[in-house]
Structure 1
Amino acid sequence: MKDVARHAGVSVSTVSYVLNDSGPVAPARKARVLDAVRVLDYAPNEAARGLKRRSAPTIGLVVPELSNQFFALLVEGVEQTVSASGGLVVLCAPEATGAEESVNGRLLRSQRINGIVYLSGAMTSPRSLLELTRLGPVVLVDEQVPGFDLPAIVSDNRRGAREVAAHVIGFGHRRLAIIAGPKNLWSTQQRLSGYREAIASIGIEPDSVPTHWGDYHQKSGWDGAEKFLSGPPADRPTALLCANDLMAVGALEYCRSRDISVPTDVSVVGFDDLPFVSLLTPRLTTVRQPARDMGQQAASLLSDLIEDTAGPESPDPLPTTLQVRNSVVAPSD
């Protein structure tokens, strides 16, 4: 602004009045300021302006990784909402960068953030999360973290899992297997509860259904499918309930490598409805989570908490939707 003022031959306050439309400026002076802005290619420092006016918050966004399209969609939702209000997003992806969570905590402190949207990963450190809560309000999204009474934006994982399992059971499948997520995650337990409710409703003991504990990554889907499908056909499950789409893709890859036909030999379902799964062969039956909406609501709730216009209560879970495609058919035997 000093450079603009010097070039235009006016005071810094005059430049501020013109750029912020916050005071009277004679037309000739305004024209000189705008011409200087154009010549110098000046762009306001929104972070500094926000800190001064306290009107454009800087949001920290902690996300495990961006290679998972579900997380990327959540990030888009957060960014859309924050940028629409003139705010800034500082993105930290611990698992993607290999940096320890404490490193990201120091980064966020250095940015003088106003609050944090936190997407929990499988390796969440309670100490690191506690450190982040000292920086300002924290809103969890997609997961709840035991031991932390923090507002969270989540989807109805339990209902979604119950519906997709009931869909599979409705085709007559009784030999089922589950490829679950990490044991310590809230979403894993919610989806597992949903599967078990559907299984119990037809008189099968849920604990009798074999379960492979994965990690929400593609390789663990392959490992689970190998565990369940490498034996004689008569001993194999006729359907795999995969707790997310990436693990379902891993299971499909294993089946393709072993000439096991999906869905003729084994039906496969996922969870999330990532954009590409409707293009697979077969097209994957799954559960849609409203990822962008979750990100948008998390950012909006955090904004309200920063402005002290919202209570600490979590809103109701967002609804999920069963996406029926062609990866499920009746068992062949």
Structure 2
Amino acid sequence: MDDAKQRDKSRPTIKDVAVEARVSVGTASAVLNGRANVARETRDHVEAVMKRMGYEPKSAARAMRRNLVSSIGLIVPDLRNSFFSQVAEGVQRGIAGHDILMTLCLSWAESEREEYFAQLLRSQRLDGVVYLSGTGLPSTSLLELTKTGTVVFVDEVLPGVDCPSVCSDNRRGAREVARCVLDAGHTEIAVIEGPRRLWTADQRLSGFREAISSCGLDPDKMRYLLGDYTEKSGYQAAAELFSGEEGNWPTAVICANDQMALGVLDFCGEAGISVPQAVSVTGFDDIAEARRTRPTLTTVSQPGFDMGRAAAHLLLHSIGVRAEPPERCDFDTNVRIRGSVSKPPK
């Protein structure tokens, strides 16, 4: 028996993994291939067993030996925002079992870095790219990349770029979270917008304004401050909002994402402004931190993991690795009502 055959014989099989994890072979295989019909707890358990046993899919081992591993790129603004981390995890799950290597690039929402990574990935002749834009600007290299390779956008639509995308209903989510604030009785409302060049920011602002208008209020009479989706910009906006006489303060601050809402909560905590007794605060994305703030943050949930996995499946289908496209590319959003919203102070 030669060395290669001896190594294959000593490696754990998917059946060995199933026995060790106390699941069926079908379930273990479903986890390996990133299928959606496995409970998260079961999937995490089986993956832990695979890691502990050193399980390596035979297809991946053969591909590595023959140098046939495909490569895709993933460009994201950063991983500090856990929504982007969820998307990245979903992309990785979506390519599991397909002999594909993912290259992660962090752009920090800087146009120069997005241009650099698009140029680099194009020169590497990758099979495709999953792209989360932090700038909303279609760089020259990105446009070239869309011509020579396959690109799938997640949660953004760029002007002049004709590419498939996976998005959630940002407008509806923004409209519904704003209605929570309005239904609580607030009329003195401030909105902290996201970067105006981004499609998501535009959609969310439109949703906020639609909700305000539907309640018989003039959206143009509300106060709007421009943020950049970072916690720092939320903090700075709050400092501006609460710098004058208390009688001129808003009773509610609607933020276009959770990071900025966290900045508002930080400022209020430092300034001794009680949330939600003195001011209500909302966010968007439902990042992990939103459930750990005090009070917990009312926000809009969008399924980052599922969106990332769908983007991976869409990309794999486009490059001929996967026979079927994802079941859906448009995802719902849902309001998570928590402790940061109450009636306005009397």
Instruction: Bin the TM-score by the shorter chain.
Output: 0.7 to 0.9
Q: Give CA-to-partner distance per residue, 1:200-244, whole Å, 9 cap, x none.
A: 011111111111110000011011111212111211110000010
Amino acid at match of 2:173: G
5 Å-filtered alignment, 1:104-119, equals: 104-119=117-132
Q: Return the TM-score normalized by structure 1.
A: 0.82
1:155 corresponds, among 153, 163, 168, to 168
Q: Secondary structure at the match of 1:88?
A: strand
Q: Give CA-to-partner distance per residue, 1:171-193, whole Å, 9 cap, x none.
A: 10000010010010000010001
- Structure 1 residue runs of 4 or more that deviate by more than 6 Å after TM superposition: 36-39, 96-99, 308-312
Could you say if the C-alpha distance between residues 320 and 48 of structure 1 is closer, same or farther in structure 2, counting changes exceeding 3 Å?
A: farther
**1:33 lines up with 2:7 in the alignment:** no
Aligned length: 299
Select the structure of larger CA radius of gyration.
1
Q: Select between 266-275 and 302-311 the one with higher mean Cα deviation.
A: 302-311
Once residues 4 and 141 of structure 2 are traced to their aligned partners in structure 1, the CA distance between those partners, rounded to angstroms, is 47
Amino acid at match of 2:221: S
| Alignment gaps of 5+ in structure 2 | 11-55
**1:80 CA drift (Å):** 0.8
Once residues 45 and 219 of structure 1 are traced to their aligned partners in structure 2, the CA distance between those partners, rounded to angstroms, is 48
Q: Give CA-to-partner distance per residue, 1:94-116, whole Å, 9 cap, x none.
A: 22899733432343235431111
5 Å-filtered alignment, 1:1-333, equals: 28-29=1-2, 32-35=3-6, 44=61, 46=63, 49=66, 51=68, 57-95=70-108, 100-122=113-135, 124-307=137-320, 317-333=330-346
Q: Select between 173-182 and 84-93 the one with higher mean Cα deviation.
A: 84-93
Amino acid at match of 1:249: L
CA RMSD, Structure 1 to Structure 2 (Å): 2.9
* 1:101 and 1:125 in contact (8 A); partners too: no
Once residues 201 and 240 of structure 1 are traced to their aligned partners in structure 2, the CA distance between those partners, rounded to angstroms, is 18
Once residues 36 and 316 of structure 1 are traced to their aligned partners in structure 2, the CA distance between those partners, rounded to angstroms, is 41
Once residues 128 and 145 of structure 2 are traced to their aligned partners in structure 1, the CA distance between those partners, rounded to angstroms, is 9
Percent of residue pairs identical: 45
Match of 1:7 in 2: none
Once residues 213 and 118 of structure 2 are traced to their aligned partners in structure 1, the CA distance between those partners, rounded to angstroms, is 44
Q: Return the TM-score normalized by structure 2.
A: 0.79
Amino acid at match of 1:35: Q
Could you say if the C-alpha distance between residues 321 and 258 of structure 1 is closer, same or farther in structure 2, counting changes exceeding 3 Å?
A: same
Q: Give CA-to-partner distance per residue, 1:254-293, whole Å, 9 cap, x none.
A: 1111111110100000000001211110000000010000
| Alignment gaps of 5+ in structure 1 | 1-27
Once residues 329 and 319 of structure 1 are traced to their aligned partners in structure 2, the CA distance between those partners, rounded to angstroms, is 25
